[in-house]
Every structure is written in C-alpha cells, then in structure tokens.
A and B are shown apart, each in its own frame.
Chain A
Amino acid sequence: MSRTINAGRGFCPGAGLVDSAEIPSFPDAADLMLKPFGNPPIEEVPGLLLLADGGRFEGLLFGAQEQAEGELVFSTGMSGYQESLTDPSFAGQVLTFTYPLIGNYGIHAQCSESARIWPRGVVVRQAMSCPDHRDSLGSVDDFLRLHGVTGIQAVDTRAITRRVREHGTLLCVMGRADDERALKRRLEVLKAPDLEDLVDEVSIDQPVLLNPGFRGPRLGALDCGIKYNILRELCRRFEVLWCPPDISLDVLVNEWAIEAMFVSNGPGDPAHPGKATNARRTLAAAVASGMPSMGICLGHQLLGLASGLTTYKMRYGHRGANQPVLDLTEKTVAITSQNHGFAVEDPVQGMLAAHPSGANSGPQENLIGAEVSVSHINANDRTVEGLDIIGLPAFSVQYHPEACPGPHDAAPLFDRFSEMVSSTLRGDS
C-alpha cells in the first residue's frame, strides 16, 4: 500500500486517562504492518481443508500457506474480521467466516484485540486483495502472512458452516493440496485443542498496572485471554491491574490492594484443570469474600462453575454479532457480540444446544456458598447468557459488552459494574 499512514502504534489503555509518565504500552497485532513489508507470492497455491467427518474442500491457500489444524468453528459477523482474528478466545480453533467477502476495508492500526492472530487457521470464501479504507495498512492476506497464520480461500464456506451446524464443531487440518496424504495422517492423530491449557497460552505472566493513579477503585482483571477493548472499557472506570489467571486472591488483596475483581473471556474448556481452574478459585474466593466481581464469557463460565453449576460444550456455540439476549428482569432484548463454544447449564432447562459429544464438566462443588440465578438467556436457543450471585455483588454475562466486533447494545453493563463496585465500597447493601 502506498498510502501514508498516520496511525499510532500499540495498545496503551491508560493513555489520556492519567498523568503518569509510566503508562505501560503493549504491541497491537497490526503493528507488524506499520513497517514496510513484501508482496504476497503471485503464484496460486492449491490448498485442501479436511474435516474429521470426512469432509474435503479444495481451495487456494493464502497467508502463511503452510499446514494448519484445529477445531473448526464459524462466525457469522459481516464485519469485524480483524477484531475476531486477534480475539484470544479463538486460540486453538480454525475460524470460518460465513460472510464471503473478508478483508474489504483492510487491516487498521490499533484495532486489534491482542498482540497476535489467534486462530490456527482461517477459512474464507474470498480474501479481498484490494482493501479500501482510509485507515487500511494492508490486506488480510498480508496480515496472516506476517503473523505466520495460514488461510484457505475459494472454498464453499456455507457448506462448511452447514456441516458444523449439523455435526457440531469438529477437528480439521488444512494445507497444500499436494500434501493430502500427510494432511490425512495428521488429522487421524489430531487431539482436540480443548485438552490443551489454552488459557495459559493466551494470558500474560506478570501483573501490570495499566493506568496507575487513575481516580477510581482498583480492579484486578484476571486475564484468561482478555480482549484489549475490555481493558480499555475497564480503564475508563477503574485503576486496572492486568494480571495472570493463576494469581491468588491473597496476592491481589495483600500486595496489590484490589477492591474489585474481573474475569475475562478466553479460549477452551472452562473446566480445564489448568489455569482456567486457577482463575476459577481466585474468582470464587473474591466473590465469597464479598468483593464486587464481574465475569465475561469464560469469566462467566468460571463464575457458573464456582457456584456449583455444570458447564458443557455446545453443538457449535455462538459466534457472531447478532445474538439476541433476553434480560429476564427488564424483559428487553439486546443484540450482542458473542464468541463461545461452551456454556453454563441452565439449572432448570439443563444443557441446551449441547455438542453431540456430550462433553461437560460434570457436577461441581459450590465454592462460593451462595445461590445463583439466571439473569439473561439467549432469545433463540434459551441457553444461559447471564448469572447473578444472590446476595453478593457479583454477576457475569456470556456475551461481550465491549463489542469489538459487534454492536454496543450491552455496553451499559460496564457502568452497571462500576456502580455496583462504588455502592459496595460505600457500604450500601
């Protein structure tokens, strides 16, 4: 691209909020495109996508043009591919976009949700080679190539979507068409990424204060794969300590003096014995101690597990920007952005829209010691979308009030949390 870009670099959620000179800054996935980079290879590389159910799709490779594998999922959002590609919740997965024209407006600086691309492979009908937007730094193809992620295009994404819808999410491999045998062999031995400690892969290692000196309560944000925009939203309301998922409540309270707790979105099975379980314990302890707490997505599932509910793998999950969520108290509907493959069991309705594998966490111990109620459900499949801990200042939602991508309908939840924190700290009951 020959256009001059005046965009900034990196991710610095504290900028503009506090006067400190010591505001930490982090890389944004698009930073790689601020430097000059080469053109994609001209030659077309025939590629192949093989599904665990025997599905075989021919296409053309783009991006890194190597071999890729993972759990095949689809997202129905029509825009917001950059945000999705950099959403850590997609770790371990191969992401199919149902919208056929991906990359229309290019890749923009400071619009990523993390420092890298997380899906292990990307499946599209057409990766647009001529993006058009004043902020565009380059194409989706460039983006994937610079991050070493393989994509396949010119495949029938609708047929893939139907397979996933009918069979549930399944494993897949993709690579060069002339490597078909090797791809098949790989597929035979491929293990579900749910078995990996994906939270460990996507989260930070050391706590860091994002907006030191911010006039607001100090919040510990447990990173299970947190999206940058959640941190931005939190930083506008709290002094935010971005911390690893396995940090203990003792450390948080005694060393960092946090006053509120937040648990983020993230990839994989919430019941995985790795760092997700560490985060669950920390969250449970915080909630039980009466600390105001909020969870989003994986954080929501962890709150469910902590309060004794079962989590389970969904047939194909909710991924997109048009999921209707019914607020059971207000009786209103919000259109929400979602990205999850697991859900919390409804105490009455059970495991709705479950995966054919039947995978679930089994019965769980209530670590909080308080009852939980369902506050929101999905207006389509009635699955649990929100939880309230009865008698304690804690709630969680399955969907993404921070949007990015997606609609802003649920954004007031951050204010609700902020008010909950203030009133708890003031001692209101």
Chain B
Amino acid sequence: MVLGSGPIRIGQAAEFDFSGSQACTALREDGYHVILVNSNPATIQNDPEMADRVYIEPLLPDVIRSIMEKERPDALLAGMGGQTALNIATDLAHAGVLEELGIELIGSDLEAIDAAEDRDLFKKVCESIDLPVPFAIACNSMEEVLSAATEIATWPLLVRPAFTLGGLGGGTVWNTGELVEIASLGLRKSRINQVLVEESILGWQEHEYEVMRDSADNCIVICTMENIDPMGVHTGESTVVAPQQSLSDADHQYLRDCALRLIRKLNICGGCNCQFAWNQATGEVRVIEVNPRVSRSSALASKATGYPIARMAAKIAVGYTLDELPNPITGEGTTAAFEPTLDYCVVKIPRWPFDKFRTADRRLGTSMKSTGEVMAIGRCFEEAFLKAWASLEYGEPHPRPLTRADESDGEGMAERAHEALPESTLVEWLRVATDRRMGALLEAFRRGWSVERVHEITRITRWFLHHFENMAKVEKEISEYIGSIENLEAYSLRRWKRLGFSDAHIADAKAEFPKTGWKNLPTPAGESAVMARRHQLGIHPRFRMVDSCAAEFAATTPYYYSTYEGIDILPDIEERTKERMVVIGSGPIRIGQGIEFDYSCVHAVKAIRESGRDAIIINNNPETVSTDFDTSDRLYFEPLTLECVCEVLIRERAHGILLQFGGQTAINLALPLESRLPDLEKMNLNLKILGTSTDSIDEASDRERFESFAERIGLKMPRGATGTTADDVRAAADKIGFPVLIRPSYVLGGRGMEVLSDHQQLEAYLKEAYLAPDKPLLVDEYLGHAIELDVDAVCDGQEVLIGAVMEHLEEAGIHSGDSTCFIPVQTISPQMVERVREQTREIGLGLGIIGCYNIQFAIQGERLYVLEVNPRSSRTVPFVAKATGVPMARIAARATLGMLLKDQSIPNPRTDLVCVKAPVFPFIKLTGLDPAPGPEMKSTGEVMGSDPDPDVAYLKARMATEVPVASGGGAYVTVRSADKENVVPIVKELLELGFKVHCTPGTADVMRRHGLGVQTAYRITERQQPDALNLMRKNEIQFIINIPTTSGGAVRDGNMMRRLAVELNIPFVTTLSGAKAEVSAIRAQRRGPLIPQRLKVTYLKD
C-alpha cells in the first residue's frame, strides 16, 4: 500500500504526486500489486493506470485502517506521501494496527521517523554522533517556553513546533510578547504539543543535502543545494541554487560526512534530506533538520540532477541495493550507486500567492506561504536565475526597475509607476525577506549600490550578490549600446543571451525600460525586432541534456534545457520519422492553476504517444509528473514564454502544438504564437496549433465577441458592462443595478473579483482597484440565489461528449474553484439538466471547439445563464474522470489529435456513486487574508469523497479536507438578517443532534420566537460576555455557522472570528447551503463507519 499526501496545500504540493507515481511504477515493474490511497482526485498517481487498486478516500488513520482490513496489504510504503502519510503510518504503527494486520512498514523506520520529528530526540541523536545542533530547549507548556527564553538569554529566538507540516506555527521572535503569541500557536499546532525554543542562527547560510542509503549501508549524496536567502527563511520559501556554490571542497566534504553520519545513525533506508546552517565567517555548522522521506527538496533534487530519487527509494524499500540498480539516466553500464555531477547551475524560485492575496502578510519566515515553485537551468547563475524569473508568470517576464506602483496597488497606479521606488522602501524590501527581495537585489545594483552595502542589509552571501551586480551591469551595457536593434552585432548579442537575457529583456533595457505603467510591458515590437536580428545572425539556443553525469556517459533520457553557447548536438532530428507534438505545461502551482492541469498535460502526452507520435513537453515546474524524465519522449525544462517555446518548436521542427491542457498559461500563448507563425514558417517550421482554433479561443474568451455569439444562438448571459474610468464603472453599476459582480479584466482565476451590494462598497473597491484604458473593470449583474453548474465536455467538431454536469453546493458568487460540487446534480430537474446539456452541445459545436472545454452556468428560478466558457481543459477534468470513470483528458487529447469521438470506444459513465469535490484553503498559512470563500478564488487544492449516499459522500470529502466534522458540543450561529428565518430548521436540527447552540442576540431572538432554546453570545464589538471569541478559546464551540452580510465584501465583520476559527481548527461555514450540508454530514457521521469505495475508471484501448 502506498499513501499519497492528500490535497495540494501550502507546504505540500504536487511533489508527492510525482514521487508517489514514480514509486508506483517502480514497484509494479517488480510485480508488486500496489494499492494507492489519496484523497486528491487531481493526481496522476491515483489514476487506475498507475496502481492496481485506487482509493480516493480521506487520509485519516481510521479510514486507512479500514482499507487495510479490506485489502490486507503486505507492506506499507509511507515515505512518498509527505508528512501526512508519515503521520498516519506512525499513528497506525504506534496503535499496533500494523502489527495486528501483519503489515510491514517499509522504506522508513519508525524509530527514525520519531527521532527526526521529535526535536529533543533528534538533538540527542545529533549529539551522539558529534554533530552540533542549535542550542535549544523543547517545551511542552508556556511556562517552559518562558523559562527556556530566560535560559538561552539572547534575542531573537526561534520557535519551532514539533510534528507539523511546512514549519507551521513557528517563527522568529524578538521579544517576550511575540514569543508568547507564536509559541502558543505552535503548541496548539504541534501534534505532540511541543515547541522548540532555540538560539537564532539568522544570517547563516543554509545548505541542503539529498542523501540516499540502502540496506547494505551504501550512502550517496544526490544533490547539494544552497539557499540564497540566509537562515530564517524556510527552505521551501527560499530561492535555491544547485549545486551549492560558495563552499570549498573541504567545507563540502565535511558537510557530506555529516549528512552520511546522520542517515546512517537514523538508519534510514531510502531518501532523506539534511539541512545545515553554515556560518560563512567562521565555518561553524549546525544541523537544522532531517526529513526522513522524500520531500519537496528531493523532487527538486531529482529534477535538478536527473536522478529519480523516489523511484530508487521505492526500490530500496523492497530490498534492492543501489549497486544492483542501473542508473536509468545513463542506462546499462552505469549504476544507481553514484553521485550525480552537474555541468550547469539550477535556480529554484518559490511561487507566492501575494499577487492574488494583496492583503496577506508577505513576510517570509519559518513557515511556508508559497503555493508552488519554478526551476530553471543555465550554464551560469545569471542565466538560470533570469529563466526562473521568466517562469514565474507574475506579469513581468523579466525584472524591471521598481517603481512606487510596485509598493501598493490601487488608484493612481499609472502615475506612481513613473516614480522610482524610494530608497528607504528599497532598504526595507532588502532587509525583510518577502517575495519582493530578489527583484530588490537587482534594483539595488541598478542604482549602483555596492555588494558590501547590500550584504550588510541582507546577509546574503556575496557570491550571489556579485552575480546580481553583474546582471545590473549588463542591463546598463545594453542600454548604453550605440546602434539600433537591427544592427546589433553578434558578439554582444551572444554575450547577453549567454547571460540569460531574453529578447524582451534586451529590447526593454535597450529602450532604457520605458515607464509603461504598472504591470504593463512595452509593446512586443521591440522583442520581435531582437528576435529577428538574432535569427538573422543565426543565434539560437543550444539544447543541453540533463544527464546526471556532466556528459561523462552517453545518456538515454531525453531531458533538455536551453543555453546559448557552442555546438548543439541534435539527436538525429532528420532521421525521426514520427510526427512531433508539443504539449505546453501549466508552470508553477498557484491559486487557480494547480495540479489539475498537470494531470491533463500528462494525459495529453500519453494520448500522443499512444497514437504513435512523439510527445514533447515544455514546462518549468519541478514538482510535477509532467516533468518526470520518462513521462514524455522529450522534456524541455524551460520558461513558458513565447521566445522559449518558439525556440523549442524550431529545434524540434514540431508538427503540432497542444495549448488546451496547460491551463491559462498555455492558452494565453495561442494568439502570440499564431502571430509568429509566419516567422516560424520562414525557418521551415510547418506548425499547426492543434485543437480549437485561435479564433474560436478568442471568440470564447473575448467578452464582446462571446456576447454576440450567445445572442446569435440564443443563450442568456448576465448583463454586464466594462468601464475604463471610475465614472464609467459607477454608471455601469447603476445601469445594471446592485448587487453587482465586479472584477478587473486582467484576470487569473478571478483576481480582485468581488460582489458589491451598494455605492459605499463600490467606492471602497474603486479606491483599491487599478484602472487604465487598456485594463478596464468588468461589471456584471450578480445573480442572487442562483445555483451554479460546471460542465466539462469534449467536442470533435461533429459531436459533443459531456463528461459531467456538476452542481455547486454554494450559490453563484463563490468562485467555482472554491465551491463544493456534486456529481450527479442534486437539486436540478432532469428537464433543466437536459437544457444544460443541449446548450453545452450548441456552444461546443457553435464555437467550433476541438478538444475540451468547460462551461459555467447559473440557474436562477427557471432561467439558465451562461457565465463563462473556457476553451481549454479545466480544474474539474480530473474530478470528472475519477467520478464517472470516463477519462476526459485522454479523450479530449485524442480529439485534438483528430480522432473522432465515434472512433473512440468511450466507456459509459459510472452512476452508482455520488461524488463530492471539496476545496482546501490556505487560511492557516496566510495571515491577513479573510478566511471566507468569495468570488475570488482562495483554495489551493481539492479532495473528493464518494458514496452511494450523498450525505456520506459529502462527509467523506469534508473529512478529507482535514478540518474536523463536529460530532457534538457547541455551535455558534450568526447570520445576516436576510437569512435568519432560513437558518431556523438548521438550528432546530443542531439542537436535536444535541448541540448547545450559541447565537448573536439578533439571531437568538428569531430562534426563540420559533421556540428554540439557544444561548446568547455577544459580538466582539458589543463588549459583553460571553462573546464568541471567548467561547471558542474555552473550547466550547465545535462548529460555526457564519453567514456574513456580503460574502467577501469590503465590510468584513466576523473576520476576526473566522481567523480564530482557522487557528483553532474549528469548522465553519459561510453559506446556508453549506450549513445544511454540514448538518447532514454530522448526521451521516453518526450512522456508522464509512465504507471505502474503490475507484473504477476504465481506460480506453485503441
């Protein structure tokens, strides 16, 4: 049995899909039957192709136990599912379940897990092998915390909770007040109620070693990594370089010895990650921590070196020794028992959600806030860094000079974009680690600051600073270059390209970074001119192989990166007879674009390979299955910019490109790519953009074009208007009538989208919104009390296959990505469903969709509205596939390749179960973010529950989110006036279920009028006891119904209460429908134990 890691969330992302998938493949090769359990429907690992038996069930010890009782596995491999799986394994082992059922825990040793996780034990282990750890005291209570602070007697101190994920609940504290605040949260968050109070080693370097060991005690170091951000920033939040750069061989060998001593002492068989702090000034070292399992870092190390760590760890877990295993990169004649050596430099940059969550606290510390990461490879640091930057997709594909507009968002941005960032702000951005720091480094050197000055402020190792300084120097050189772009000489251009400067960056620097306004790039004309000149001079990137051995051996894995130098060795491209199809990946995991798109890309690749063509993938996310070395025929680890994609297309002489599987990232390339096709044709490239034509994509995405389309075929849409000035927006809102749904046109997953119910809220919104002639605001009619539906379908031009019609639990207005949704629909009439299906067909055929598309509908009474059509694979495609057993992504990819639906043997959808998809939110990690779902997407991932009974299916999904479902105790109910009557039956049911119900005075009055015995709890602002916060702190509230006056509106009463609920892990719902479902779940929970459901998905044969 292999355990997955559950939903994507901050601190635990797609890396475990990647490692779990590798492990499944590795084990099945050897004839093992694999039972995989993961609550996340969006992963590749729980596709039936990957494992023999798949369960999409909550990752909770009891559930796993019941699956074990049913399946009777021989062994449990827990090291592939992150902290979640490891915690379950230790729970089951300590409870004696594994022993009772005769299940062997393989790959990780229980004692090793305990020793690595329990800080006190870990300290003892380190001391026993003479490795220094930071001076620290483990504390189990606040009294102990305070006395520890007295004993250590230096500030700042570091608080680290034991047994948590991504360092949750820890932090650096500078005084007793902060200590109490952070430590009390840490104590609560720790599974064993323990925090470590320790000496601060802020400013030291941080180095990581990825180590493997087998049962014969052979140990190897796969990869070393050096964090650019000094100690104090979680390694998942750091910009990281591999291999390490600033250690001498003697330093490195010393740390290597330490790492090997640790893995041996902990008796780990498999992979492990060791983190060290290194004082560059003195050469002192401290062991920071050991992860006795594959991790985010090991995924990065795998992609950075080419060495498949998870695969090897799985093989080791079943008893192989490293020297028995061939190195899959270099093939026969080489063994897995060797240390990869690199001939390039790798840079990883985390991807943070602060572009969407503008109110969230951006400071980086010991707990994670990033949702994903990008990786780039170059032959020098500058090249790798700039490529990584281009991969981030924050809207600026290369770093531009910082302006006051970067400081804050809102009105007047256009003007502020013309003022340079004040020096004091720049110092602050350098001093405090935030997502802005890397850009600030370059900015400082642009302004001529010295390496020493920046080092003083940041404590960042000078080696890195010298390279940032060099980038600034080259920018200056470009801007001072005399002569036009058309006459650029080869020597300079080649030099700049070699340092990683993109065509757009060169054009921008050449024009001295014109002040174009916030997030507004110069016209692409300059970029095209640089490209044209470059191509004229015959300067193209060379593609180098990631081969784990610096070309010492001929490698067999086709994994490439681009760089500008020397001679390219094309692997006999002329001799290739197969058609070559390129799939564009979806880049870093972020809110709104997660692992679901990677799932679709992997299926697209498989469909291409099945059809006898070569599948090529371009992506830059090191965590994913799509970037695994054996997923595609050829993998290019590149930024998903037009320039980089075009160069790969030229190199491959590709026949086709698939843009509909990589989310918005890929589909956004459609128009720019089409406009470049003539240039590419001149280079003998006859490329087809496969699937839906760019014109149809535009028709579906462009609001005006789609409106006229909808009118033509008789579809109803909510009324809407756009405004480019504040007055326009006001007029539009008046014309449509409040409430209105408002959002900027510059959208990714609904950024800045809000429901406004009156002028006051509109004015507040306008103050924060960014408006410009080319970035209008969209104002829409808000459909109150409407039911929202999602449909995923495939069209081949002749016929439409509807995957599923999904009904959202929450009413329209909550972002579809944040809604809980059901397959099949629960409250919609069959006639209405038929209308939905009919309109879906009309849209697909009418727009000329080839491949997949997703439509959002809303039903208000008898009226059916089309909200949005996405001419691409959607977030729900994997959920539909797993719920119905119809592999939508694969079918869509085949349709894209020209295979008609009628020629595909498509299975009938499974109908015996109700399947529920529920979102998982990052509220605990992101302070400053209102923890309530609204029109702006906030969730990071999703889980699925399935059962014949819809209440049980919902219950399972809810349990899988790992927010508990209340079983009894106290409930707190506070609802807006409009819903007070509606909540009566729910409160009644809660009382029947034995809950003690606390209501705010207004709500309580209504309840009492209905004869319900409720308690009064006051609002915080009423300053009377008992208030809600107090009750919650006293552990008297186990469930909260909180329906705010406007969901996610500018006025956010109750934010404090919801924030506390998040911190105390108390479940809360913010919609009436959510409350009903939750109460049904509470009831369902009492009906008896859950029955695990095995996944049945039929896979298409040719």
Taking beta carbons and an 8 Å cutoff, which residues of A are in contact with B? 57, 74, 76-80, 82-83, 98-101, 104-105, 108, 111, 125-126, 130-135, 155-159, 161-162, 165, 316, 320-324, 326, 331-333, 335, 379-381, 403-408
* CA distance in complex: A320, B251 (Å): 17
Chain B contacts for A316, CB-based, 8 A: 552
A-B contact pairs, 29 of them (CB 8 A): A57-B566, A76-B341, A76-B552, A77-B341, A82-B248, A98-B341, A99-B342, A100-B380, A125-B379, A132-B246, A132-B466, A133-B246, A134-B280, A134-B281, A156-B566, A158-B566, A159-B566, A161-B551, A165-B552, A326-B337, A331-B323, A332-B216, A333-B335, A333-B337, A335-B337, A335-B339, A380-B333, A380-B553, A405-B249
| CB <8 Å contact, B566 and A335 | no
Identify which of residues 252-301 in chain B touch chain A, using a CB-to-CB cut-off of 8 Å.
Answer: 252-253, 256-257, 280-283
Chain A contacts for B466, CB-based, 8 A: 130, 132
CB distance from B899 to the nearest CB of A (A): 40
Chain A contacts for B380, CB-based, 8 A: 100-101, 125-126
* CA distance in complex: A91, B187 (Å): 62
| CB <8 Å contact, B345 and A404 | no
Given contacts A322-B341, A333-B218, contact A165 B462 (CB under 8 A): no
Of the candidates B217, B280, B283, B343, which one forms a contact with A332 in the assembled complex, judged by CB atoms under 8 Å apart?
B217
Chain B contacts for A155, CB-based, 8 A: 566
Answer yes or no: B220 CB below 8 A from chain A CBs.
yes
* CA distance in complex: A321, B551 (Å): 14
Contact with A along B334-370 (1 / 0, CB 8 A): 1101111111110000000000000000000000000
- A318's closest neighbor in chain B, by CB? B552
Extra contacts, 7 of them, besides A77-B249, A321-B339, A380-B335 (Cβ < 8 A), are A74-B552, A78-B341, A104-B463, A132-B463, A156-B566, A320-B552, A407-B339
Chain A contacts for B342, CB-based, 8 A: 78, 99
Answer yes or no: B239 CB below 8 A from chain A CBs.
no
Chain A contacts for B381, CB-based, 8 A: 101
Of the candidates B250, B462, B550, which one forms a contact with A76 in the assembled complex, judged by CB atoms under 8 Å apart?
B550
Identify which of residues 827-885 in chain B touch chain A, using a CB-to-CB cut-off of 8 Å.
Answer: none
| CB <8 Å contact, A324 and B323 | yes
* CA distance in complex: A78, B246 (Å): 11
Answer yes or no: B153 CB below 8 A from chain A CBs.
no
| CB <8 Å contact, B216 and A407 | no
* CA distance in complex: A404, B552 (Å): 21
* CA distance in complex: A78, B341 (Å): 7
Answer yes or no: B554 CB below 8 A from chain A CBs.
yes
> 3 nearest interchain CB pairs?
A156-B566, A80-B249, A98-B550
| CB <8 Å contact, A379 and B566 | no
Of the candidates B283, B322, B333, which one forms a contact with A134 in the assembled complex, judged by CB atoms under 8 Å apart?
B283
Answer yes or no: B245 CB below 8 A from chain A CBs.
yes
Of listed A57, A76, A78, A320, residue having the most chain B CB within 10 A:
A78
Chain A contacts for B218, CB-based, 8 A: 332-333
Answer yes or no: B573 CB below 8 A from chain A CBs.
no
| CB <8 Å contact, B550 and A380 | no
Chain A contacts for B569, CB-based, 8 A: 159, 162
CB distance from A162 to the nearest CB of B (A): 5
Identify which of residues 790-820 in chain B touch chain A, using a CB-to-CB cut-off of 8 Å.
Answer: none
By secondary structure, the B interface counts as loop
Given contacts A134-B280, A161-B552, contact A320 B341 (CB under 8 A): yes
- A84's closest neighbor in chain B, by CB? B249
CB distance from A346 to the nearest CB of B (A): 15
- A107's closest neighbor in chain B, by CB? B248
Chain A contacts for B251, CB-based, 8 A: 105
Given contacts A156-B565, A379-B337, contact A165 B551 (CB under 8 A): yes
* CA distance in complex: A324, B338 (Å): 5
CB distance from B862 to the nearest CB of A (A): 67
| CB <8 Å contact, A159 and B567 | yes
Q: What bracket does the count of chain B residues touching chain A fall in?
A: 35 or more
* CA distance in complex: A405, B249 (Å): 6
* CA distance in complex: A83, B252 (Å): 14
- B466's closest neighbor in chain A, by CB? A130
Answer yes or no: B56 CB below 8 A from chain A CBs.
no
Chain B contacts for A335, CB-based, 8 A: 220-221, 337-339
Chain B contacts for A74, CB-based, 8 A: 552
Chain A contacts for B323, CB-based, 8 A: 324, 326, 331, 333, 379
Answer yes or no: B243 CB below 8 A from chain A CBs.
yes
CB distance from A279 to the nearest CB of B (A): 28
| CB <8 Å contact, A322 and B340 | yes
| CB <8 Å contact, B552 and A408 | no
- A55's closest neighbor in chain B, by CB? B567
Answer yes or no: B1100 CB below 8 A from chain A CBs.
no
| CB <8 Å contact, A324 and B337 | yes
CB distance from A170 to the nearest CB of B (A): 16
Identify which of residues 433-468 in chain B touch chain A, using a CB-to-CB cut-off of 8 Å.
Answer: 461-463, 466
Answer yes or no: B129 CB below 8 A from chain A CBs.
no
| CB <8 Å contact, A83 and B249 | yes
CB distance from A114 to the nearest CB of B (A): 16
Chain B contacts for A379, CB-based, 8 A: 323, 335, 337-338
Answer yes or no: B247 CB below 8 A from chain A CBs.
yes
| CB <8 Å contact, B554 and A165 | yes
| CB <8 Å contact, A381 and B341 | no
| CB <8 Å contact, A105 and B248 | yes
Answer yes or no: B549 CB below 8 A from chain A CBs.
yes
* CA distance in complex: A116, B772 (Å): 66
CB distance from B1047 to the nearest CB of A (A): 52
Chain A contacts for B1058, CB-based, 8 A: none
* CA distance in complex: A80, B251 (Å): 10
Chain B contacts for A98, CB-based, 8 A: 341, 343, 550-552
Given contacts A76-B550, A100-B380, A407-B256, contact A157 B247 (CB under 8 A): no
* CA distance in complex: A108, B343 (Å): 23
Identify which of residues 540-576 in chain B touch chain A, using a CB-to-CB cut-off of 8 Å.
Answer: 544, 549-554, 565-567, 569
Chain B contacts for A332, CB-based, 8 A: 216-218
- B338's closest neighbor in chain A, by CB? A324
CB distance from A327 to the nearest CB of B (A): 10
Of the candidates A78, A111, A326, which one forms a contact with B243 in the assembled complex, judged by CB atoms under 8 Å apart?
A78
| CB <8 Å contact, A99 and B247 | no
Of listed A57, A101, A320, A326, residue having the most chain B CB within 10 A:
A101
* CA distance in complex: A335, B257 (Å): 12
Chain A contacts for B335, CB-based, 8 A: 324, 333, 379-380
CB distance from B551 to the nearest CB of A (A): 4
- A98's closest neighbor in chain B, by CB? B550
Of the candidates A101, A162, A333, which one forms a contact with B322 in the assembled complex, judged by CB atoms under 8 Å apart?
A333
Of the candidates A111, A326, A407, which one forms a contact with B248 in the assembled complex, judged by CB atoms under 8 Å apart?
A111
* CA distance in complex: A165, B334 (Å): 15
- A162's closest neighbor in chain B, by CB? B551
* CA distance in complex: A320, B551 (Å): 12
| CB <8 Å contact, B248 and A135 | yes
| CB <8 Å contact, B344 and A79 | no
Chain B contacts for A159, CB-based, 8 A: 566-567, 569
* CA distance in complex: A76, B323 (Å): 20
| CB <8 Å contact, B567 and A79 | no
CB distance from A24 to the nearest CB of B (A): 24
Given contacts A324-B335, A331-B216, A333-B322, contact A79 B252 (CB under 8 A): yes
CB distance from A11 to the nearest CB of B (A): 15
Chain B contacts for A326, CB-based, 8 A: 323, 337
| CB <8 Å contact, A322 and B339 | yes
CB distance from A393 to the nearest CB of B (A): 27
| CB <8 Å contact, A407 and B253 | yes
- B547's closest neighbor in chain A, by CB? A158
* CA distance in complex: A208, B565 (Å): 50
- B283's closest neighbor in chain A, by CB? A134
| CB <8 Å contact, A79 and B249 | yes
CB distance from B1093 to the nearest CB of A (A): 45
CB distance from B464 to the nearest CB of A (A): 9
* CA distance in complex: A155, B544 (Å): 15
Contact with A along B380-413 (1 / 0, CB 8 A): 1100000000000000000000000000000000
| CB <8 Å contact, A380 and B283 | no
